[in-house]
């Protein structure tokens, strides 16, 4: 699953259109987050995770109990966000769906998603 995340990161970095790159960055972050859940929560309802149901809820549960995971944050003029929520709300929601892609999204899209995957790898020691 982390390999899938890496592929989406690569696509995001190469995509010239920021709106399309933001969606690929979101998928990169989502896949890395799923990999984290698969590796760290043996009680996770994997069927729901595979269907994309409850991922945000699982994110918040892990965010509260895993200090390393909760440190995966992005800071910018919009405030401080957990990386997953930033990718879901801002990159996926605002930029891709709403078409509101601000220039300051460039770095999180082009570099930040890859850093998130690296951080997940460090946490999982893979």
- The span from the CA of 68 to the CA of 35, in Å, is 15
The percent of residues in the chain predicted with pLDDT above 90, rounded, is 15
Q: What is the pLDDT of residue 2?
A: 92
- Give Cα 10 distance to the centre of its chain: 14
Residue 70 has what pLDDT?
61
pLDDT surpassing 60 at residue 35:
yes
Q: Tell whether pTM > 0.85.
A: no
Q: Which of 10-14, 34-38, 67-71 has the lowest mean pLDDT?
A: 67-71
Burial 13-37 (b: 16+ CB within 10 A, else e): bebeebbbbbbbbbbbbbbbbbbbb
Domain ranges of the chain: 2-124
Q: SS3 helix, strand, coil % of the chain, rounded to 5?
A: 75, 5, 20
What is the distance, to the nearest Å, from the Cα of residue 104 to the centroid of all Cα atoms in its chain? 17
């Amino acid at each position: 699953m982390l390999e899938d995340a890496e592929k989406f990161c690569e696509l995001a970095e190469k995509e010239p259109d920021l709106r399309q790159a933001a969606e690929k960055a979101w998928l990169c972050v989502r896949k890395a987050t799923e990999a984290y859940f698969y590796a760290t929560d043996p009680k996770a309802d994997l069927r729901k995770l595979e269907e994309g149901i409850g991922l945000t809820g699982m994110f918040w549960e892990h965010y509260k109990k895993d200090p390393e995971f909760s440190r995966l944050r992005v800071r910018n003029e919009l405030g401080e966000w957990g990386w997953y929520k930033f990718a879901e709300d801002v990159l996926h929601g605002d930029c891709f769906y709403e078409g509101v892609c601000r220039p300051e999204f460039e770095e999180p899209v082009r570099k930040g998603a890859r850093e998130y995957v690296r951080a997940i790898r460090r946490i999982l020691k893979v």
